[in-house]
Chains A and B, each alone.
Chain A
């Protein structure tokens, strides 16, 4: 399986978007590059951009490896991609509004009702509730992969609490600090204004009572969460309070935070806490991270949650195959971005096919994330495949299968020098009242192990600065 290399292109000539990068790599002595790589690592460690790895000792902090060779997209590539992303987010939001109200798409038979209403991520508490600004997904992270110069696939939609945007921003900041000359030559579209756009988006969906100056806060599970650095980073950049559940309380159908000057009303909560932990009275009663009574205030319109409760049903992997249908149904448009062909293993014929072809397929848990609990057929041993086969047979509804895509590669620093490594892209799409915006590019994740297709940081993936060149 020969992968398409984004710099070298299919015919071996350097792609236009990579001219500056290629010249720079050619002209810079490898010793200097090595030095800069070490410098980058020191910078990241000093700034404290670390993440916690689940399953390791509490408090273990690791750096996500950063690769100094940027990934670059031409302006027309981004234009096409961003249109497709915008379309997708519109359709997904329309889907959520529909299933929590009239359920037209189910009545029309486009998606089997039980797949939605029987899904554990469907929240009946949200049925008939009006969300402020009519927006469910204010922040989406849509994972995109590329197989050919002009062919992008959506791998998955992340509509709950997508993370990684701080790495996108810090990768750029570090690159600009290490290689100012490079940015003087290439016209790279800036991304620094992301926190500003995010705040604008959050303010635009405040409840009606909040007036012109709504109080926006970021709700984090706390310092031991793997994405805590990002929560703090975003709160700082937006100049809003970083709160934990214990800082908030509910009284008289409103949410307040405890401050040194007494209680202060909160209007918009950018929550980085999953549905099931957000309110121990409504969901997981054991959660000490949430705010008792929050759901009740939310349902009465006293506070905005971003993203809304119950968005998980739209990014579930068993719903994913229907997104192209949603685009046609709600927007009357043809999808601009392709879905990866997907076998739903709850269907007997799909299951039979998948079990026959496991060595060539990727199998994922419908509700898994972070690269945990998946099988990459071509990279797995016979034993691993057999073990996985038993797991699938025990619970076919819990899995989907997809062909193994030949993900594009980018030149990357490895122990053996510069070599191609597989990449994906997570752009972040902001959906406010009457507006959809995104900063150019997104977070590029790179699988650092040779041949590996798993880019998740928890599985040894790294990141790259992602450029979108300006015309």
Chain B
């Protein structure tokens, strides 16, 4: 496969996943903001969303104060920065445009329709249809994208590069989300109702609320939430799950070659496979996440070197 084709596939996967993650983050912030705030102001949840993405400065120079409506518009429709849903869908489609000969007709059409419909969404429509309707729609389109890819693409290199993008982005998102919450919620008094709502919101944002209750049959405990999202192999948005997928894809793509990216992936995967949450906690969950985030970034760069001839 052409290196450029692989790169386009990888970024198509990444941007679709990022669009979905943004929709999830917005959705959960929206819900959290409806709850009575303990002592922080009503904008605290929106501030937290911006902080997590690291774009508070860009936001403030353009919009000033943090308000719900402005942040929603900023993260949904504003294409002047790379963390809006519209920007991601534009980029996913732009990358896919160069892949017309590689993608199945169904996959291209699905993405093209998403892009066409996203173009029709204005501030007015966002307000009149309700932001959550739009967030749900984005999630659905992303699910559809993955489903169509799974069932219409050849399960060859193209498929694996697409999945690499998806899972790297997802791992990055889960690690960031969890790290941000670890920091902001560390000061909460244990067992308070806020713990339930705040960590419950984290679980919901990664479709893991039900999974949590099924697996633990217990009240919501921050350490268990961390375990679920870091170490559980069966949880599709956990770091362990993402790294399993990445390692499997790289294993196929390497075709027996001893590639550095594969080594990094396997090393990271092993750490997630053989760690116990008690050890992670004793070292500091925050530190563990920061380390993993660093590895995921390094992995992204190394994939570029090994396959995409970008260096």
| Chain A residues proximal to chain B, CB less than 8 Å | 45-48, 222-223, 228-229, 232-233, 235-236, 240-244, 246-247, 257-261
Contact B109 A47 (CB under 8 A): yes
Contact B3 A260 (CB under 8 A): yes
Contact B4 A246 (CB under 8 A): yes
Contact A260 B109 (CB under 8 A): no
Contacts of A47 in B (CB 8 A): 105, 109
Contacts of B112 in A (CB 8 A): 46, 48
A-B contact pairs, 17 of them (CB 8 A): A45-B116, A48-B100, A48-B108, A222-B98, A232-B100, A232-B101, A235-B101, A236-B100, A236-B101, A236-B102, A241-B5, A247-B2, A247-B4, A259-B2, A260-B3, A260-B161, A260-B253
A257 to B1, CA, bound (A): 9
Q: Which of B1-43 contact A (CB under 8 A)?
A: 1-6
CB-defined interface of B279-311 with A at 8 Å, one 1/0 digit per residue?
A: 000000000000000000000000000011100
Any chain A CB within 8 A of the CB of B255?
yes
The minimal Cβ–Cβ distance linking B208 to chain A, given in whole angstroms, is 34
Contacts of B105 in A (CB 8 A): 47
Contacts of A46 in B (CB 8 A): 109, 112-113
The minimal Cβ–Cβ distance linking A461 to chain B, given in whole angstroms, is 24
Contact A257 B2 (CB under 8 A): yes
The minimal Cβ–Cβ distance linking B46 to chain A, given in whole angstroms, is 32
The minimal Cβ–Cβ distance linking B107 to chain A, given in whole angstroms, is 12
Contact A244 B101, CB 8 Å, known A260-B157, A261-B255:
no
Contact A258 B4, CB 8 Å, known A46-B109, A47-B109, A48-B112:
yes
| Interface class of chain A by DSSP | mixed
Q: Count of B residues near A, CB < 8 Å?
A: 25
Contacts of A261 in B (CB 8 A): 1, 255
Contact A242 B101 (CB under 8 A): yes
Contact A233 B3, CB 8 Å, known A47-B109, A258-B309:
no
Any chain A CB within 8 A of the CB of B97?
yes
The minimal Cβ–Cβ distance linking A45 to chain B, given in whole angstroms, is 8
From the candidates B2, B97, B113, B157, name the one contacting A223 in the complex (CB within 8 A): B97
Contact A244 B97 (CB under 8 A): no
Contacts of A242 in B (CB 8 A): 100-101
A236 to B104, CA, bound (A): 10
The minimal Cβ–Cβ distance linking B113 to chain A, given in whole angstroms, is 7
New A-B pairs, 20, CB < 8 Å, besides A236-B100, A247-B2: A48-B100, A48-B108, A222-B98, A223-B97, A235-B100, A235-B101, A236-B101, A240-B101, A241-B2, A241-B5, A241-B101, A242-B101, A246-B4, A247-B3, A258-B3, A258-B4, A259-B1, A259-B3, A260-B157, A260-B308
From B98, B253, B307, name the one whose CB has the most chain A CB atoms within 10 angstroms. B98
A258 to B308, CA, bound (A): 8
A-B contact count (CB 8 A): 57
Contact A243 B101 (CB under 8 A): no
Contacts of B307 in A (CB 8 A): 260
A129 to B98, CA, bound (A): 34
A335 to B306, CA, bound (A): 58
Contacts of A240 in B (CB 8 A): 101
From the candidates B2, B100, B116, B157, name the one contacting A258 in the complex (CB within 8 A): B2
Contacts of B157 in A (CB 8 A): 260
Contacts of A257 in B (CB 8 A): 2
The minimal Cβ–Cβ distance linking B237 to chain A, given in whole angstroms, is 27
The minimal Cβ–Cβ distance linking A80 to chain B, given in whole angstroms, is 37
Closest 3 CB pairs of A and B: A232-B100, A236-B101, A235-B101
Contacts of B94 in A (CB 8 A): 223
The minimal Cβ–Cβ distance linking B108 to chain A, given in whole angstroms, is 7
The minimal Cβ–Cβ distance linking B302 to chain A, given in whole angstroms, is 14
Q: Which of B213-255 contact A (CB under 8 A)?
A: 253, 255
A246 to B5, CA, bound (A): 12
A172 to B98, CA, bound (A): 24
Contacts of A235 in B (CB 8 A): 100-101
A240 to B2, CA, bound (A): 11
From B97, B255, B308, name the one whose CB has the most chain A CB atoms within 10 angstroms. B97
A45 to B108, CA, bound (A): 12
A243 to B108, CA, bound (A): 19
From B113, B157, B161, B309, name the one whose CB has the most chain A CB atoms within 10 angstroms. B309
Q: Which of B70-120 contact A (CB under 8 A)?
A: 94, 97-98, 100-102, 105, 108-109, 112-113, 116
From B4, B161, B255, name the one whose CB has the most chain A CB atoms within 10 angstroms. B4
Query: Nearest residue in A to B4 (C-beta to C-beta)?
Result: A247
Contacts of A243 in B (CB 8 A): 2, 4
A48 to B2, CA, bound (A): 23
Contacts of B113 in A (CB 8 A): 46
Contacts of A233 in B (CB 8 A): 100-101
Query: Nearest residue in A to B105 (C-beta to C-beta)?
Result: A47
Query: Nearest residue in B to A242 (C-beta to C-beta)?
Result: B101
Contacts of A232 in B (CB 8 A): 100-101
Query: Nearest residue in B to A236 (C-beta to C-beta)?
Result: B101
A22 to B94, CA, bound (A): 43
